[in-house]
Amino acid sequence: MTPDRPVALVTGASRGIGREVALALAHAGHDIAFTARTRHEGEGTVPPRTAREVAAGTEPLPVPGSLESVAEEIRALGVRALPVPMDLTDLTSVRAAVAHVHDAWGHVGVLVNNAILHVPHARVLELDLAALQASLQANYVHQLALVQAVVPRMLERGGGLIVDLWSGSVVNDPPAPPGEGGWGLAYASSKAAFARIAGALNAEFWDRGVRAFNLDPGFVVTEAATARGGVAAIAAHGVPTVPAAAAGRAVVRLATDPDFATAARGRVVRAADFVRVRES
């Protein structure tokens, strides 16, 4: 019989912050369901950083990571792994992913909304409104649909944890135009809408055990960020980098320390506070 371990669902976990969160929760004893679009190693790509690069003919950029490779890493930690293909732009895919986890494992105790649609950053007068709409649809509307699919069963079981990956672009103006160390309006707008979900959930369900938080991972140089380039331009504006593993530590603290979670209600949890200097 499979041990009765807590179940976590981490979206966008084939690489980067999502992978680190999934592995951290696995280390903490959670069975891990996780989503991504990339099924097999060698198939992953991300779009260029800016819309101008796309217009100039820059092709999608290869990145490492996949459902199959992360599943192997999770299982090596002695817990179950359930890789689930999901496309955040497709509402049917999003709802089917949750249904698959519920059918396989019965419930989700921890949901980490990390997946994001990467729309190339565009300057205001060059922003394709269709791209803006796609960003809002995937990064806000479909994320909310995922939450709506998970929360009812959390309530039936007496509670659960939802962690939404926040962004400093919600409250900060870009220090420069896209391509020169700043970000695009489509990204910031979708993240700003997404950031309102946690507070609404807490107003309605905190007393019934469902608790939601925004987690700021900081500026993380992920595999996708490295592939796109432009990291030096961002750092030149004084933006410090934060290791991806810090977000995983923050999620584990929220999942395992009720007093910390209670104290964190209504504020953005910052992964930078969980950076550890490891002894060599």
Query: Running along the chain, 280 residues long, what does each successive block of 10 average in pLDDT?
Result: 81 98 98 98 96 97 97 98 98 98 98 97 98 98 98 98 97 96 97 98 98 97 91 85 96 98 98 70
Distance (Å, whole) CA 144 – CA 161 = 15
pLDDT of residue 2: 52
Length of the chain: 280
pLDDT of residue 3: 59
The whole-model pTM stands at 0.95
3-class DSSP state for residue 166?
A: coil
**Nearest Cα to 45, choosing from 71, 64, 26?**
64
Both tokens assigned to 156: 């039936």
How many domains is the chain partitioned into structurally? 1
Both tokens assigned to 97: 């992913």
3-class DSSP state for residue 16?
A: helix
Backbone angles phi, psi at 167, to 5 degrees: -150, 140
pLDDT of residue 234: 84
Query: Per the domain annotation, does 104 fall within a domain?
Result: yes
Query: Per the domain annotation, does 2 fall within a domain?
Result: no
Distance (Å, whole) CA 80 – CA 7 = 9
CATH number at residue 130: 3.40.50.720
Query: Per the domain annotation, does 91 fall within a domain?
Result: yes
Query: Per the domain annotation, does 60 fall within a domain?
Result: yes
Both tokens assigned to 199: 């507070």
pLDDT of residue 278: 41
Query: Per the domain annotation, does 119 fall within a domain?
Result: yes
Give residues with Cβ within 8 angstroms of 16, minimum separation 6.
65, 220, 222, 223, 224, 244
Q: What is the residue range of 170's domain?
A: 7-274
Q: Please report how many Cα atoms fall inside a 13 Å half-sphere around the Cα of residue 49, on the Cβ side.
A: 19
Query: Per the domain annotation, does 84 fall within a domain?
Result: yes
Query: Per the domain annotation, does 148 fall within a domain?
Result: yes
